């Protein structure tokens, strides 16, 4: 059984207390590796290493940093097959999804920010003939990057890459539920030749590590993706210390389908946006609102397509859905399906766990006949569960779509550009897709409003987050 180790100051280290957690394969329920159950002493080691490496790393040129990021991207490409296998085994997602999405995007994150680093520049202003004011960006310092279990390598690299490109050193804390590809990445970091202490990987539970990471004075910023509940805890600990925070949290994303939508494209994409990665993507559409004249036709066709989705072994090319990430998460999802029944919901397809060995499988589930303000329509379930709700008018659907405490993303399906623009302005979310889904230009900001997020990731916004802007005024006469 493989034993994962922390990577601190260029060395792979066992946790100080020698304690480990079981790392289970969700598709079988079996423990296949051990992950460090690190504590504050391990966090102290990692922060000290990042702090010690910061001065020299921050003084490297953009070209030097970019070259190392590209080298790491190339190593991810060379090891893509192994990384995809590990991601699928660790998370339960189909191997095909890991191979086509997670690992290529992880590689692209490093390539993108290797190029993007040169875009971070200051501005200059001549106040009068003898005075010039200008700005410049300086690396912020050691930072903490905390990533979730649903897209383990994809989202971790999206944080690490801009931090390194900006000249920061990093303490990376992946989810203890899905640690394997972060461990593999630490091996590639060493192979790429990054200086010791520039990137450190710390494994363990947030309950044991969070306070130290959030309150240590040497840590200048925290970039977190995960649940709103955890984000609130991190904010509460870090805010009194005036650290910069980027919090990308929960979502309960609405899908608005108007009767004039391009039907087949809408149907095909909404099936994908509902159940990709077993619905365990913060951007999945879990509340599907359908204009009344189209409701019955779309419902029947949608349910028929969903019922045909194959749930099975993640390694099987034919599997559309794999296992959910853990037994506890499976129980949470099933509890919400029971709540839907208790609230009068009608299960149109799915609604149960599947007995596929000892794995954690849930059938893709479609529910109707729930009030828009029911707990199933308000709470983030984060699984293969969607609801269908008819709507009468634009005002009606906007009010329902905006009713939750979340505001991450929304999808609008209509061929009426005026209607689409009204929806874009009316929806209280950070991201709106019109006639598409998960169509991302990495140069654009990413993030939500309300309890879905604080700050923005991606593109130039990410580089600015990991930097401190300084204003200089020079009188030349």
Catalytic residue among 87, 107, 176, 248: 248
- 317 falls within a domain: yes
Cα–Cα dist 164/68, whole Å = 10
Distance CA 13, CA 154 (A): 24
pLDDT at position 470 is 95
The residue from 87, 282, 380, 457 that is catalytic is 282
- Chain centroid to CA 232: how far? 17
208 and 269 housed in the same domain = no
Asked if the structure places residue 14 within a domain, the reply is yes
183: nearest Cα among 155, 152, 209, 143: 152
8-state DSSP, 360:
-
Please give the pLDDT value at position 138.
Answer: 96
Please indicate, yes or no, whether residues 345 and 201 belong to a single structural domain of this protein: no
Angstrom distance (rounded) from CA 290 to CA 400: 12
By C-alpha distance, which of 324, 335, 332, 353 is closest to 24? 324
Q: Would you say 450 and 462 are in contact if contact means Cβ atoms under 8 Å apart? A: no
Domain containing 125 equals: 2-249+452-475
CATH number of the domain within which 282 lies: 3.40.309.10
Same domain, 86 and 119: yes
119 pLDDT band, cuts 50/70/90, is confident
- DSSP string over 184-223: HHHHHHHHHTPPTTSEEE--S-HHHHHHHHHH-TT--EEE
- 49: part of which helix (H) or strand (E)? helix 40-58
Our answer to whether residue 282 is catalytic in this structure is: yes
Share of the chain above pLDDT 70, in %: 100
Whether 416 and 464 share a structural domain: no
For the beta carbon of residue 300, count every other beta carbon within 10 angstroms.
11
CA dihedral over 85, 86, 92, 98, signed as positive or negative = negative
Question: Is 447 within a domain?
Answer: no
263: pLDDT strictly greater than 90: yes
Q: List Cβ neighbours of 264 (8 Å cut-off, separation of 6 or more).
A: none
Q: Is residue 122 part of a domain?
A: yes
pTM: 0.96
Query: Is the model's pLDDT at 476 over the cut of 90?
Result: no
Q: How many helices and strands, by DSSP H and E, does the chain display?
A: 16, 25
Assess whether 272 and 244 both reside in one domain: no
State the DSSP H helix or E strand holding residue 467, giving kind and residue range, or none if neither: strand 467-475
Question: Percent of the chain at pLDDT above 90?
Answer: 98
DSSP string of 397-452?
HHHHHTTSSEESEEEEE-S-HHHHHHHHHH--SSEEEES-SS---TTS-B--EETT
Residue 65 included in any domain = yes
289 pLDDT more than 90: yes
User: Distance between terminal CA atoms of the chain?
Assistant: 71
Tokens of 186: 């630490």
Mean pLDDT of the region 195-223: 97
Question: What does pLDDT average to over the chain?
Answer: 97
Total of domains in the chain: 2
Please answer whether residues 384 and 364 qualify as being in contact, where contact means their C-beta atoms are separated by less than 8 angstroms: yes
d(CA 182, CA 176): 10
Q: How large is the average pLDDT for residues 151-177? A: 98
Note whether 464 and 393 are same-domain residues: no
**Distance between CA atoms of residues 446 and 409, nearest Å:** 10
Alpha-carbon distance of 213 to 239, in angstroms, equals 12
Q: Are residues 305 and 181 in the same domain?
A: no
Q: Which residues does residue 200 pair with via DSSP β-bridges, in sequence order?
A: 171
Do 81 and 13 reside in the same domain of the chain? yes
Each residue's pLDDT tens digit, 329-339: 999 999 999 99
Residues 228-255 pLDDT 10s: 999 999 999 999 999 999 999 999 999 9
Phi-psi region of 226 (alpha: psi -120 to 50; beta: other; left: phi over 0): left
> Are the C-beta atoms of 252 and 386 separated by less than 8 Å?
no
5-28 burial, b for 16+ CB within 10 Å, e for fewer? bbbbbbeebebbeeebbebbbbbb
CA 348 – CA 445 distance, rounded (Å)? 37
Same domain, 403 and 463: no
Instruction: Indicate if 364 and 223 belong to the same structural domain.
Output: no
- 280: which residues sit within 8 A by CB, 6+ positions away? 93, 150, 324, 325, 382, 383
Pairing of strands 131-139, 124-128: antiparallel
CATH number at residue 35: 3.40.605.10
- Provide the pLDDT for residue 1: 86
**Confidence grade of residue 477 (pLDDT, cut at 50, 70, 90):** confident
Output the six-digit token pair for 330. Answer: 């499976």
**Cα–Cα distance between 240 and 221 in angstroms, integer?**
13
Distance CA 97, CA 85 (A): 10
Tell me the two tokens of residue 352: 């149960």
What whole-number distance in Å separates Cα of residue 235 and Cα of residue 244?
Answer: 10
- 412 and 459 housed in the same domain: no
- Let me know whether 333 and 418 are in one domain: yes
What pLDDT was estimated at residue 341?
97
| pLDDT given for residue 311 in this prediction | 98
Give dist(CA 411, CA 427) in Å, integer: 10
Asked whether residue 378 is assigned to any structural domain, the reply reads yes
Indicate if 394 belongs to the active site: no
User: Cα–Cα–Cα angle for 211, 217, 223, nearest 5°?
Assistant: 65
Q: Is residue 284 part of a domain?
A: yes
Residue 411 lies in a domain: yes
């Amino acid at each position: 059984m493989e034993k994962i180790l922390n990577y601190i100051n260029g060395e792979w280290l066992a946790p100080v207390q020698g304690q480990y957690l079981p790392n289970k394969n969700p598709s079988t329920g079996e423990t296949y590796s051990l992950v460090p159950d690190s504590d504050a002493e391990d966090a102290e080691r990692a922060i000290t290493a990042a702090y010690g490496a910061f001065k020299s790393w921050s003084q490297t040129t953009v070209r030097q940093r970019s070259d190392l990021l590209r080298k790491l991207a190339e190593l991810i490409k060379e090891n893509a097959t192994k990384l995809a296998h590990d991601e699928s085994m660790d998370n339960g997602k189909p191997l095909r999804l890991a191979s086509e999405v997670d690992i290529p995007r992880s590689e692209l994150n490093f390539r993108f920010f290797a190029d993007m680093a040169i875009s971070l520049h200051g501005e200059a202003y001549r106040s009068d003939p003898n005075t010039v004011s200008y700005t410049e960006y300086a690396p912020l310092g050691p930072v903490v990057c905390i990533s979730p279990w649903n897209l383990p390598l994809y989202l971790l690299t999206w944080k690490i890459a801009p931090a390194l490109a900006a000249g920061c050193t990093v303490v990376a804390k992946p989810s203890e539920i899905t640690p394997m590809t972060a461990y593999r990445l630490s091996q590639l970091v060493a192979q790429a030749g990054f200086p010791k202490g520039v990137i450190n990987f710390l494994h363990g539970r947030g309950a044991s590590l969070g306070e130290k990471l959030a309150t240590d004075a040497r840590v200048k910023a925290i970039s977190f993706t995960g649940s709103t509940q955890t984000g609130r805890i991190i904010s509460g600990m870090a805010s009194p210390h005036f650290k910069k925070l980027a919090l990308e949290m929960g979502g309960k994303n609405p899908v608005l389908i108007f009767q004039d939508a391009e039907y087949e494209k809408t149907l095909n994409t909404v099936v994908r946006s509902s159940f990709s990665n077993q619905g365990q993507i913060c951007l999945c559409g879990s509340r599907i609102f359908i204009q009344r004249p189209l409701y019955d036709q779309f419902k029947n066709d949608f349910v028929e397509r969903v019922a045909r989705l194959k749930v099975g072994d993640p390694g099987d090319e034919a599997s559309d859905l794999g296992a959910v990430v853990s037994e506890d998460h499976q129980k949470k999802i099933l509890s919400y399906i029971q709540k839907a029944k208790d609230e009068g919901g009608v299960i149109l397809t799915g609604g149960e766990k599947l007995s596929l060995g000892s794995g954690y499988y849930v059938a893709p589930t479609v529910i109707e006949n729930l009030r828009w303000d029911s707990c199933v329509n308000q709470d983030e379930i984060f699984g293969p569960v969607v609801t269908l709700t008819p709507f009468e008018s634009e005002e009606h659907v906007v009010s329902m779509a905006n009713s939750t405490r979340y505001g991450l993303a929304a999808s609008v399906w209509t061929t009426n550009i005026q209607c689409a623009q009204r929806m874009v302005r009316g929806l209280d979310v950070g991201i709106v897709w019109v006639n598409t889904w998960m169509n991302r230009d990495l140069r654009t900001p990413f993030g939500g409003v309300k309890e879905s997020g604080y700050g923005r990731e991606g593109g130039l916004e990410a580089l600015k987050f990991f930097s401190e802007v300084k204003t200089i005024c020079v009188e030349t006469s």
